Amino acid sequence: MAKIIILGSGVMGTSLTVPATDNGHEVLLVGTPLDLDIIAELNRPSGVHPKLDEACSNRVKPISFEMLRTEHFSEADMVVVGVSSPGIHWAVEILNQMMTEPRPVAFVTKGLDPAATGLATYAETLPPRIPMMSAFVGIGGPCIARELANRQPTASIYACKDVGVAKHFVDMMGTDYYRLSVTTDDAGVEACAALKNFFAIGVSAMQTHYPDRKRADGQSKNPTAAAFTQASLEMARLCERLGGTAATAFGLAGIGDLHVTVGGGRNSRLGHGLGAGRSASDVLSNELAGETVEGVDTARALATMLHSGGAAAVRDEDYFPLASAIMDAVLVEEPFRFDFATLAVR
Amino acid sequence: MAKIIILGSGVMGTSLTVPATDNGHEVLLVGTPLDLDIIAELNRPSGVHPKLDEACSNRVKPISFEMLRTEHFSEADMVVVGVSSPGIHWAVEILNQMMTEPRPVAFVTKGLDPAATGLATYAETLPPRIPMMSAFVGIGGPCIARELANRQPTASIYACKDVGVAKHFVDMMGTDYYRLSVTTDDAGVEACAALKNFFAIGVSAMQTHYPDRKRADGQSKNPTAAAFTQASLEMARLCERLGGTAATAFGLAGIGDLHVTVGGGRNSRLGHGLGAGRSASDVLSNELAGETVEGVDTARALATMLHSGGAAAVRDEDYFPLASAIMDAVLVEEPFRFDFATLAVR
């Protein structure tokens, strides 16, 4: 039985408490400054998580970040950061304040670091920022938090340059419903985690752009399947440019996570709006107002890579026609237009 | 303007007349012995295809196979076989009777040839059986026939060892909505065309096996995404064993076609029944009675490969857990049980 600290009590951080406590571990679930209501609710008798609609195991101790002490980290066997990308600065600050001994840290945070010069994954940018972090572990794969909390079979992949560290996390967290693989390609897992949000915008746009009234869901299938395939190929190419391997893009962190992301969630809703002919700002200022749409951040980060001149071919229409169409729609407010002609004969 | 013969007036053969005639070509659409009603209907004034619910261009001449003459082949610029696997023997016989000059032939027929010793794709087995066929062209990729007939954007891939021949077919058939790529990996395209039907059974089973009542479609997403990824990996491995390349499995013919096949069609309906806990024979003798379920034929062919001893590792649970689960359910009448544990740590 181990002690695990999970930073961030949003849906993903909280859902990870389920396999952890099913394995008999004790979890300190730490709310961010934005999680005050969640922690208050979880600390009420029979309180349920307001977004997850589930109660936590009694092996979970929900606390607000203000209650966190360095002793918590000294006693902990494992640290997991469960925040999304807007919370990463907060998490880094907490780790640097509280962690006084070297320790590996796992991150569910998905994103390309826009603070980096050019473009880089968190696998590259976080280690130098957190001196006491002895190893970076990236968590990827198709995982809708609510389904994990409901113990639906979920396959994920834990990435660490030191495969022994990844295996240790997997031993602690894996259950019969939370099936974990390991890889040393941390850069690839992180790149894919960000890229799949971005590409989900474009694949989802197909679902509304080419309707089929004869189907129950109103969507044609051929254009979406073609775009899904194209997204996979472009994701593999970009993954390699970001220091990962193409194989990672064709695994759980890439096509697996893309599969689960298309059709649900905020990136997909943006795509559905674009596919229906609306502008990105229209969708983002209406039904997605105030929401974090991580694929948009990735689009900006890819544009940074472009402008840095380091990888101009990202705009090469021959190689990245889908990425280009998404960037044009999201950043330059052009109508979404993915021309299938750019896929033809090679 | 060219003359094209399409053998088989089912939905796929007939849908190919749409891009062909949009390009200005004339098509002789030849009904098989099972297509007598279709040809009769298409030859009525303003007749529509009974399954496709569309009329043909007036550049299409529908005829029954009995009307076919060797002159038709002498005059034709291009020959396409549009039948499914049960019709392949008929098509071979027609080609051998009628084709008196060397000529390349393209096939939409998907399948592993069960007549072959061990296991082989049509790319291997058909050329020796059709002496006048100067080149074999395999057509793959995500293409629901009705959507192609409705001119929805569709990406497909034409495979021929002689890439110039593939490009010639693509020049004749490609339009702004029917976007065609080429490859020399004919064995891979044929292997994937068969394997995706087989794996669609297993991925579709997840959709009913793990329901989620909180969703509109009643399906959880994590298990399906995990199985889709696993199917892609196993398809790539089997594709290589059948003489193709893994890259083909990760392209339009593999994951693209798998994407479009999961959730619709007969293989998927079998999977949905298995996922709901029913036996294969129950599903096949009720709602699928009398239907060709090509994934079942592929399961049998894979079992042949197994018994031939040439590739015993196809049953190696470490490498093909999903294929094994599907074969057990389809051929041995065991309940469908894909244990995610077999995916864990590598």
Name the CA radius of gyration of chain B, rounded.
20
Among B79, B31, B34, which residue's Cα sits nearest to residue B56?
A: B31
Domain boundary among A184, A214, A234: A184
Q: Output the pLDDT for position B343.
A: 60
Are B345 and A177 an interchain contact pair (Cβ–Cβ within 8 Å)? no
Q: Is B189 helix (H, G, I), strand (E, B) or coil?
A: helix
pLDDT score for A1:
86
CATH number, domain containing residue B193: 1.10.1040.10
Residue in A with minimal Cα distance to B259: A225
Judged by a CB distance cut-off of 8 A, whether residue B332 touches chain A is no
* Smallest Cα distance from B209 to chain A, Å: 10
Interface test with A, best of B146, B171, B217, B222 (most A CBs within 10 A): B222
CA dist A268 and A295 (Å) reads: 9
For A244, counting Cβ atoms within 10 Å of its Cβ (0-12 exposed, 13-18 middle, 19+ buried), the class is buried
What is the pLDDT, as a whole number, of residue B337? 87
Closest CB from B150, B174, B260 relative to A344: B174
- One domain, residues A204 and A259: yes
Q: pTM above the 0.80 mark?
A: yes
Mean pLDDT of the B180-189 span: 96
Same domain, residue pair B282 and B193: yes
Residue B346 has a pLDDT of: 45
More confident residue, B289 or A116: B289
Mutate to test the interface with B, among A209, A248, A259 (most CBs of B within 10 A): A259
Q: Is the minimum CB–CB distance between B149 and chain A shorter than 8 Å?
A: no
Structure tokens that stand for A324 in this block? 């280009």
Q: Give A-chain residues touching B269 at CB under 8 angstroms.
A: none
In this prediction, residues A161-171 reach a mean pLDDT of: 97
- Does any CB of chain B come closer than 8 Å to the CB of residue A147? yes
Q: In this predicted structure, what is the pLDDT of residue A218?
A: 87
Average pLDDT over residues A27-56: 94
Is the pLDDT reported for residue A172 higher than 80? yes
Which of A110-119, A204-213, A242-251 has the lowest average pLDDT? A110-119
% of chain B beyond a pLDDT of 70: 93
Neighbouring residues of B182: CB distance < 8 A, sequence distance ≥ 6: A345, A346, B157, B158, B159, B160, B163, B166, B167, B170
- Name the residue among B6, B156, B9 with its Cα closest to residue B77: B6
Which of B263 and B164 is assigned the larger pLDDT? B164
Considering the domain architecture, whether residues B165 and B42 belong to the same structural domain is answered as yes
Instruction: State the residue range of the domain holding B291.
Output: 187-343
Do B176 and A147 lie within an 8 Å CB cutoff? no
Interface test with A, best of B232, B259, B261, B269 (most A CBs within 10 A): B259
| pLDDT higher than 80, residue B272 | yes
Digit-coded pLDDT (tens) for A182-202: 999 999 999 999 999 999 999
The answer to whether B175 contacts chain A (CB < 8 Å) is no
- Contact between chains at A259 and B228 (C-beta distance less than 8 A): yes
Total domains in the fold of chain B: 2
- Domain finish residue from A158, A184, A210: A184
The predicted structure's pLDDT at residue A193: 94
Q: Please name the residues between 281 and 300 in chain A that touch chain B, using a CB distance below 8 Å.
A: none
Output the pLDDT for position A310: 46
pLDDT at residue A317, rounded to an integer: 45
* A85-117 pLDDT, tens digit each: 889 999 999 999 999 999 999 999 987 876 666
For residues A235 and A337, membership in a common domain is answered with: yes
Check whether residue B248 and residue B112 sit in a common domain.
Answer: no
Residue of A142, A55, A152 lying closest to B213 (CA atoms): A152
- Give yes or no: residues B128 and B203 share one domain: no
Tell me, letter by letter, the H, E, C secondary structure of B235-252: HHHHHHHCCCCHHHHCCH
B23/B133 same-domain check: yes
A23 close contact with B: CB closer than 8 A: no
Tell me the mean pLDDT in the region A214-238: 93
Q: Which of residues B117, B149, B184 is at a domain's end? A: B184
Which tokens belong to B221? 């997403």
CATH, residue A131: 3.40.50.720
Mutate to test the interface with B, among A204, A221, A240 (most CBs of B within 10 A): A221
> Residue A60, SS3?
strand
CB of B276 less than 8 A from some CB of A: no
Residues A46 and A175 in one domain: yes
Question: pLDDT digits over B34-76, tens only?
Answer: 999 999 999 998 889 999 988 999 999 999 999 999 999 999 9
pLDDT of residue B306: 58
* C-beta separation of B7 from B32 below 8 A: yes
Contact B344 A179 (CB under 8 A): yes
Report the range out of A208-217, B145-154, B259-268 with the highest average pLDDT: B145-154
Residue B310 has a pLDDT of 46
Q: Which residue has the tokens 């945070």?
A: A109
> What does pLDDT average to over chain B?
91
**With 60 as the cut, is the pLDDT of residue B316 above it?**
no
A-chain CB neighbours of B232 within 8 Å are 250, 255
Check if the beta carbon of residue A168 is closer than 8 Å to that of residue A137.
Answer: no
Q: What is the pLDDT of residue B308?
A: 53
The amino acid at residue B193 is A
Q: Does residue B213 sit at the A interface (CB-CB below 8 Å)? A: no
A180 and A203: one domain? no
Q: Does residue B115 or residue A156 have the better pLDDT? A: A156
The confidence band for B21, taking pLDDT boundaries of 50, 70 and 90, is very high
Q: Are the Cβ atoms of B340 and A177 closer than 8 angstroms?
A: yes
pLDDT value at A274 more than 80: yes
A118 shares a domain with A203? no
- Shortest CA gap A93–chain B (Å): 32
Cβ proximity of A167 and B345 under 8 Å: yes
Residues B147 and B217 in one domain: no
Per the CB < 8 Å rule, is A344 touching B181?
A: yes
Q: Is the pLDDT of residue B296 over 50?
A: yes
Q: Is B247 on the interface with A (CB under 8 A)?
A: no
A277 with A320, same domain: the answer is yes
Residue A345 reports pLDDT greater than 90: no
B128 φ/ψ angles, rounded to the nearest 5 degrees: -65, -25
Residue B131 reports pLDDT greater than 80: yes
Say if residue B311's pLDDT is above 70.
Answer: no
